[in-house]
Amino acid sequence: MRIAFLTATEGVEEVELTVPWKAVLEAGWTPRLVSTEPGEVQAMRHLDKAGTYPVDRVLTGRTDESFDALVLPGGVANPDALRMSRAAVDFTRAFFDAGRPVAAICHAPWLLVEAGVVRGRTLTSWPSLATDIRNAGGTWVDEKVHICREGTSPLVTSRKPDDLEAFCYGLRTVFAG
């Protein structure tokens, strides 16, 4: 199974990228770092620069077709930049249109709001996104992990780095089908 990890070129919360990446590898699947530009992604530890990670694939026309599932790591700047990218929004929406599973943590549901895929779904996120999710027609819950099977695509969401163990368990369970 090929799993896309979508990030902007800067601002992804490092632990929200690396811990799910490791979980995907441990499940025997193939993770690929997809971004809006070639080169490297600058990860963060909150507001401080952390490691850099090489981009495997740049968003283009139908990039989504070669992936079975999507992981959206958070960080404040990462999803904020992605929701301003038409290619990132379209890429994300394509997984929902195709009924493929998606997992998003922390601030990443901002991208789901922008993609118009929240209406009628229940999800969790960093608490400051609750109003955005409700305004987009979703139901926000305060849970470590929430698995939503409403709609065509299964959606796994979590609130923050402290929830990564539950998030990884949820995404492995849902992605395995």
Active-site residue flag, 106: yes
Question: For 37-163, where are the alpha helices, taking DSSP H only?
Answer: 77-82, 86-97, 109-115, 130-135
Tell me the two tokens of residue 135: 């305004």
Alpha-carbon gap, residue 78 to 38, rounded angstroms: 16
| Annotated catalytic residue, options 106, 146, 148, 168 | 106
107 catalytic residue (yes or no) = yes
Give the integer Cα–Cα distance in Å for 144 and 157: 8
Q: Which amino acid is at 145?
A: V
46, 107, 146, 168: which one is catalytic? 107
Active site residues: 106-107
